[in-house]
């Protein structure tokens, strides 16, 4: 099979096209961005009416598209200069600051921004480690998500319970309970194990997937039920929001990946291609999503209706995370951590037996979780008693062990806070998908590990 799959069919299954409503919405979003001083790149969309936009004064009403782009770019530069003046509290600023800001904005928008921060870290402040636990979650923590401002954490467990914790005072502030039997009139909670969870960038929607085939949408502030999305035919194993939007991607054991629009609470389309249950999904800013399951990894280019297929692991691939729009990292039950480029079918780098071997059978320990900071630093977890932090070197072609943090139990979920000051670990006595092994001495809890930076 070709590495690049083009066209409107994948494995003989016709893909659903965008609805007219969604295409209309995409055009409206483009014009909303234009009103925020962003440059319009599509000549077709420049000719559309802007009834709802505030008028931007123009010296020439008959200006060309190129002249309009230049005018908007000048306005954007003036805005950056004004922000930098306020930030630095001085009348004049160095032009190199504006140049650096423009470069970073461009790289961030194109997914090519590569910050090097790994060398700043030297360890963990053991005396300041926080443990989050409550009586409602007695079984293994399976997943969690953190709001974009690092204020709240939502954790799901095998109890079927979702708990909201404050990351400021480290206390429980809310709960979505386990409900043995759902009421047809009002949904109060979940009735099976929680397997996936995600929160939108603006903290407007909290989505939760469990062993049923439905996705439940909750209000993150009040924890009140909002809507149920139906369409999958198996447990929901992964959820991910496109950054700064309400576009949701979901994956399931039914081997399908689905796209949803939460502004309209509507299904958009299904992405077919995986031959095994899909275990993980991730996305950033583009209309592009990466998924993994079984022995293959796929990157879906939504607007182009194409996909890229990658093969490299010798076992099942259970975790995938995007470093940027061009690189991503995976982990699986073969004990490997692989770093990839979207331009290559095979990994740029492979870490064999990243968490050692199981002393009972001599097989590599399962890499049960990976996370990253969208920089040159990633973290991984297993059942070997450690969370490991790695440094990506040589343009992602080599990996170096940076930190080794003792954590007893199965590491089922990992996340850096957006400021990079803390690493959060979801720990359980069992793996999130099964009970193949039980570590009885472990605690089912959330650990908040403060990272220590080197003094400058």
**What average pLDDT is seen over the chain?**
84
Q: Are residues 84 and 223 in the same domain?
A: no
Give residue-wise pLDDT tens across range 155-189. 999 999 999 999 999 999 999 999 987 766 688 89
d(CA 39, CA 302): 22
Rounded to an integer, the average pLDDT of 377-383 is 96
Q: Is residue 387 part of a domain?
A: yes
Based on the number of CB atoms within 10 Å of its own CB, is 456 exposed (0-12), middle (13-18) or buried (19 or more)?
A: exposed
Q: Are residues 103 and 123 in the same domain?
A: no
Whole-structure pTM value: 0.77
Q: Are residues 303 and 351 in the same domain?
A: yes
pLDDT at residue 107 in the model: 61
- The residue among 57, 84, 110 that closes a domain is 110
- Does residue 306 register a pLDDT over 70? yes
Q: Is residue 267 part of a domain?
A: yes
d(CA 91, CA 85): 6
The CATH number covering residue 138 comes to 2.130.10.10
Rounded to an integer, the average pLDDT of 198-211 is 96
Expressed as residue numbers, the domain containing 243 is 118-453
* 39: confidence class by pLDDT, cuts 50, 70, 90: very low
Q: Are residues 57 and 174 in the same domain?
A: no
Count the Cβ atoms, other than its own, within 10 Å of residue 219: 13
The DSSP 8-state label assigned to residue 357 in this structure reads B
- The residue among 76, 110, 144 that closes a domain is 110
Q: Are residues 253 and 377 in the same domain?
A: yes
Q: Are residues 301 and 344 in the same domain?
A: yes
* 81: confidence class by pLDDT, cuts 50, 70, 90: confident
pLDDT at residue 61 in the model: 56
Q: Are residues 84 and 210 in the same domain?
A: no
Rg of the chain over Cα atoms, rounded to whole angstroms, equals: 23
Q: Are residues 20 and 97 in the same domain?
A: yes
pLDDT at residue 72 in the model: 79
- Residue 198 neighbours by CB under 8 Å, 6+ apart: 145, 206, 207, 239, 240, 241, 248
Q: Are residues 175 and 44 in the same domain?
A: no
- The residue among 84, 110, 136 that closes a domain is 110
Give residue-wise pLDDT tens across range 385-420. 999 999 999 989 999 999 999 999 999 999 999 989
Q: Is residue 9 part of a domain?
A: no
Q: Are residues 244 and 382 in the same domain?
A: yes
Strand partners, 258: 250, 270
- The tokens 């999503």 sit on which residue? 289
What's the number of domains the chain is made of? 2
pLDDT at residue 97 in the model: 62
By residue count, the chain amounts to 456
Give residue-wise pLDDT tens across range 122-152. 999 999 999 999 999 999 999 999 999 999 9
Q: Is residue 140 part of a domain?
A: yes
Q: Is residue 324 part of a domain?
A: yes
> What percent of the chain has pLDDT above 90?
64
Q: Are residues 146 and 83 in the same domain?
A: no
Q: Are residues 444 and 416 in the same domain?
A: yes
């Amino acid at each position: 099979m070709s590495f690049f799959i083009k066209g409107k069919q994948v494995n003989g299954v016709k893909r659903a096209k965008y609805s007219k409503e969604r295409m209309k919405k995409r055009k409206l979003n483009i014009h909303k961005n234009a009103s925020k001083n962003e440059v319009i790149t599509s000549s077709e969309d420049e000719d559309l009416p802007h009834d709802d936009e505030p008028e931007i004064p123009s010296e020439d009403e008959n200006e060309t598209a190129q002249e309009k782009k230049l005018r908007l770019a000048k306005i954007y530069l003036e805005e950056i200069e004004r922000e930098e003046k306020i930030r630095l509290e001085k009348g004049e600023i160095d032009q190199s600051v504006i140049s650096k800001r423009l470069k970073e904005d461009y790289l961030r928008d194109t997914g090519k921004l590569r910050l090097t921060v790994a060398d700043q870290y030297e360890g963990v402040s053991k005396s300041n480690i926080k443990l989050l636990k409550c009586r409602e979650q007695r079984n293994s923590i399976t997943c969690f998500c953190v709001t974009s401002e690092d204020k709240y954490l939502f954790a799901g467990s095998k109890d079927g319970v979702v708990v909201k914790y404050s990351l400021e005072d480290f206390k429980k502030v809310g709960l979505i309970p386990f409900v043995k039997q759902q009421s047809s009139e009002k949904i109060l909670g979940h009735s099976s194990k929680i397997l996936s969870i995600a929160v939108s960038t603006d903290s407007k929607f909290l989505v939760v997937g469990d062993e049923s085939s439905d996705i439940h949408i909750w209000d993150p502030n009040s924890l009140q039920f909002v809507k149920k999305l139906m369409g999958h035919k198996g447990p929901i194993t992964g959820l991910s929001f496109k950054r700064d939007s309400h576009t949701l991607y979901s994956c399931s054991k039914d081997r399908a990946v689905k796209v949803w629009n939460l502004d309209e609470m509507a299904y958009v389309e299904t992405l077919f291609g995986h031959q095994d249950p899909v275990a993980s999904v991730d996305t950033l800013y583009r209309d592009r999503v990466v998924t993994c399951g079984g022995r293959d990894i796929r990157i879906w280019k939504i607007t182009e209706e194409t996909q890229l297929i990658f093969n490299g692991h010798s076992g099942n691939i259970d975790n995938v995370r995007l470093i940027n729009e061009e690189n991503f990292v995976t982990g699986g039950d073969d004990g490997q951590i692989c770093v990839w480029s979207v331009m290559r079918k095979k990994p740029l780098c492979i870490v064999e037996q990243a968490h050692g071997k199981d002393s009972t059978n001599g097989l590599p320990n399962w890499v049960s979780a990976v996370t990253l900071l969208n920089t040159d630093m990633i973290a991984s977890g297993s059942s070997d008693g450690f969370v490991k932090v790695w440094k990506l070197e040589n343009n992602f072609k080599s990996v170096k062990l940076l930190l080794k943090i003792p954590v007893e139990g199965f590491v089922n979920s990992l996340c850096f806070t957006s400021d990079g000051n803390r690493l959060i670990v979801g720990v359980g006595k069992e793996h999130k998908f099964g009970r193949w092994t039980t570590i009885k001495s472990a605690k089912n809890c959330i650990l908040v590990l403060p990272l220590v930076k080197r003094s400058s």
